[in-house]
Amino acid sequence: MPVTPTYPGVYVEEVSSGVRTITGVATSITAFAGFAPRGATDSATSVLSWAEYERKFGGLNRDSLMSYAVNHFFGNGGSRAYIVRVVGGGALPATVTIDSKLIVNGKNPGTWAAANTIKTLLSTFDATRFTLQVLDAASSTPLETFANLSMKDADPRFAPNIITSQSELISATKTGGSDNPPADTTAPITGGNNGAALTLNSANFEVALTNALKSLDRVDLFNILCVPGETRKEGIPALQKFCRDHRAMLIVDCDQNATITSLQNGPDSSITQADSINSALYFPWLNISDPLGGGAVLSVPPSGIVAGVYSRTDAQRGVWKAPAGTDASLSGVSSLGFVASDAENGLLNPKAVNVLRNFPVYGSVVWGARTLAGNDDRGSEWKYVPIRRLALFLEESLYRGTQWVVFEPNDEPLWAQIRLNVGAFLNDLFRQGAFQGKSPRDAYFVKCDSETTTQSDINRGIVNILVGFAPLKPAEFVILKIQQMAGQLQS
């Protein structure tokens, strides 16, 4: 507040510096979409570890390529994921009615809850209270316990409210109108429906997938999308557009039966259109030791493990470092579905196919960093994955970090503040090695003045901020030139 001097003396007034720190957003939050036997279907669920995925979505499942992908994501350095469970129409939860007073349903659709039993016990101290337990049907082991419950709607321990809000396994509703607690009962949860059968890479799966992905619209931020095993050229373009609209990257799996011959002319043209700059294709599928098959070899798509490599590289080096090279090792892989030679790699790399390779010293690694717009013949400025991801990172960070500008007086003082704050953010990235150039002048620029924002723009309430950066392009081809010295010969 301005100071109003009324007496002789010294007055202190705090003046804003105009500094508003812009914070870089996270870069490797990965969304996975696919079948799971259990889990929420009406929202994208955040999971921070494999143990949390097991608890919420049932762990590894032979019918769920997504479960293996998430497992390898966390095993290769992933730290945060959103899970989008895709189910067919008609999916219903399993259910049981307790003493005609309490309906208990599985927390979400599917037959999975039928593996549990509900047990109720009247309180020995208060005839209006009871305890409800969720038991494993096979071992009778208590999985969840809710004590001191009441059937009275106004009671703070009203059973349906407490159970539905706190349980990860069940929800409950009152029925019959009675306020008396249910009698001592042990009853199995039965029924449930997993919904119409969905076959990966089929038209009906893609319809269900499109509906399920709408839940990501309510997520604050995700940077990578994986639909493990989705390889249909009819379905991928829609996913590419979805990712571009959300400033995210799509990791595309090659066809399981893809070969050097089938890919030597590049991916199908339907997946290399305008939105392909936000996607990258990896070949081949991977062989792993399947814990559910007694260690038998199982072929899985590479998207989950590659997403983990993205996350690990971001944490160790930054989003501007290509998620490829000898450091981009693939943990948990017993072998590659196809072992490509240098010559075969040389056929696919110029066509924007990223090859997973195996080298004697380093093992299995990611050995490509091109987007699906990275075909040499195309000459795209978004040829490389790290450059595109860095641009998306800058877009999202600056979008969020300049919200304060809205409704500010649109004149030189505002423009100066914008230059100061955006410039400070970019300078910090330059010092971390995100841009090329010997000095900030060579690495980036921020322009916001009367040239970018004309009087006509001001009249329309528009301020234009022009930001440019010099990206670091990966050293894709290292050429060593060697010659003999001519001894002591003099010219």
pLDDT tens digits along 6-22: 999 999 988 888 788 99
Average pLDDT, the chain: 94
Q: Give the per-residue pLDDT at 357.
A: 97
Q: Which residues of 461-486 are buried (b: 16+ CB within 10 A; e: fewer)?
A: eebebebebebbebeeeeeeeeeeee
**What tokens does 64 get?**
């769920």
Domains (range + CATH), the chain? 30-87+197-386 (3.40.50.11780), 95-188 (2.60.40.4290), 412-491 (no CATH)
Residue pLDDT, tens place only, 195-254: 888 888 888 999 999 999 999 999 999 999 999 999 999 999 999 999 999 999 999 999
State yes or no: pLDDT of 376 exceeds 60: yes
Contacts of 426 (CB under 8 A, 6+ apart): 435, 440, 443, 444, 446, 467, 469
At residue 270, what is the residue type?
S
Distance CA 85, CA 466 (A): 40
State yes or no: pLDDT of 486 exceeds 90: no
Q: Do the beta carbons of residue 388 and residue 473 sit within 8 Å?
A: no
Q: How many beta carbons lie within 10 A of that of residue 21, not counting itself?
A: 9
DSSP one-letter code for 193: B
Residue pLDDT, tens place only, 290-315: 999 999 999 999 999 999 999 999 99
Please report which helix (H) or strand (E) contains residue 422, including its range.
helix 412-432
Helix (H, G, I), strand (E, B) or coil at 17: coil
Q: Give the per-residue pLDDT at 490.
A: 60
State yes or no: pLDDT of 491 exceeds 60: no
Q: Give the per-residue pLDDT at 487.
A: 64
At residue 449, what is the residue type?
D
Distance CA 325, CA 310 (A): 12
Signed CA dihedral, 331, 333, 335, 336: sign only: negative
Residue pLDDT, tens place only, 402-413: 999 999 999 999
Residue pLDDT, tens place only, 127-161: 999 999 999 999 999 999 999 999 999 999 999 99
At residue 394, what is the residue type?
L
Q: How many beta carbons lie within 10 A of that of residue 190, not counting itself?
A: 11
Helix (H, G, I), strand (E, B) or coil at 277: helix
Signed CA dihedral, 277, 375, 265, 337: sign only: negative
Question: Average of pLDDT values for 375-401?
Answer: 95
State yes or no: pLDDT of 187 exceeds 60: yes
Q: What is the pTM of this model?
A: 0.92
**What tokens does 191 get?**
């029924």
